[in-house]
Amino acid sequence: MKKVIIVTLMAFVFSTKFYAQTISVLETKQITNSNEGEFYFPHFSNDDSEIIFTKSNYKGLFKKNLDSKNIIQVTDENGSGYKPFISEISDEIFFKSFVNKEGRKFNSLKKYDLNLKTTETIEQNQRMINLLNQTNSNKVSYLVNSSYKSFSLANTKLSKTNVEPNALYAENNQLYLQQNNTSVNLSPLGEGVYVWESLSKDGKNIAFTFGNKGAYVCDLDGEILLNIPEAHYPQFSPDGKFILYMIDKDNGTSYTSSDVFVYSIEEEKNYPITNTKDKIEMYAEWSKAGDSIVYHATNGEIFITKLDIQN
């Protein structure tokens, strides 16, 4: 376990000098409605032309083309909407699914080719599969019953290499970094509930939420660089200069409020993105271009907000 070291935000640098930026909302569009169904946990596709989402219970994966407006079902399998891996360098989506047999759950790992519209099974009928959060690579990393494995992407924009991607996972109240075929227990805040762990696009920094203490950023050695109190579901912007997150409240049984914010690392400032009285907006994700975000409301509607980032 790495000893926690508190540092100032001046030390939080991504190998480049920052210049002052501000962020504001240009427009917000609703992209699904009640007639189409209730959808949740949206993501942008690798070229930002489509939105990929699921149902409230993670059953099924769907995609909607932002030009044609058509919704197409990718799969109807149980659990397939839980943290799918959408490759940025190939036209593939990796997802887990499960079936129940005599009271026991068995998991599979599958790949959907967006061009061929075909599904390939990579692992089947395993008691535990963990599809890891990872950096761009021509491989996808995952755990099968705690054993590390990887799968090569097809027709990627990167040259073929045997280098394994940096990857993250939380397990048994610990945070682990999978690097160079080795699993390292980082757990920068000690034992506790680590959730929503993610890597910056350059693979040099880690964001996560820890219990009820908000969102944190640390480096690959586990040194704490930043804390945003109350923040949940932290997501690095593609350029690493902003953290997207939500602040949600509940009464123990249901959400009572939630809004989306962006934190500017260089300005040490929060920017509210949503502020609606009749909507509870959650689980926002960046576009690959870094100029838009997508998120759902608790009534099953999905929205895209276009951002204006000024130097």
| pLDDT confidence of residue 157 | 60
Same domain, 181 and 309: yes
Same domain, 309 and 203: yes
Same domain, 135 and 207: no
Same domain, 209 and 266: yes
Same domain, 232 and 98: no
Using the 8-state DSSP alphabet, how is residue 280 labeled?
A: -
Produce one character per residue of 260-291: b if its CB has 16 or more CB atoms within 10 Å, e if not: bbbbbbbbeeebebbeeeebbbbbbbbbeebe
Sheet with 104-113, side-by-side order of all strands: 85-86, 92-101, 104-113, 118-126
Instruction: Out of 26-30, 85-89, 276-280, give the one with best mean pLDDT.
Output: 26-30
> What pLDDT, in 10s, does the model give residues 10-23?
344 444 444 566 88
Same domain, 93 and 4: no
Number of domains in the chain: 2
Same domain, 157 and 16: no
**Mean pLDDT taken over the chain:** 90
Could you write out the DSSP letters of every residue in 130-166? EE-EE-S-SEEEEEETTEEEEEEPSS-SSPP--PPPP
Same domain, 311 and 185: yes
Distance CA 32, CA 302 (A): 5
Nearest one of 195, 203, 204 to 245, comparing CA atoms? 195
> What pLDDT, in 10s, does the model give residues 149-205?
999 887 666 555 667 889 999 999 999 999 888 999 999 999 999 999 999 999 999
Band of pLDDT at residue 227, cut at 50, 70 and 90: very high
Same domain, 184 and 308: yes
| pLDDT confidence of residue 4 | 42
Domain limits for position 142: 37-165
CATH code, domain with 178: 2.120.10.30
Same domain, 171 and 232: yes
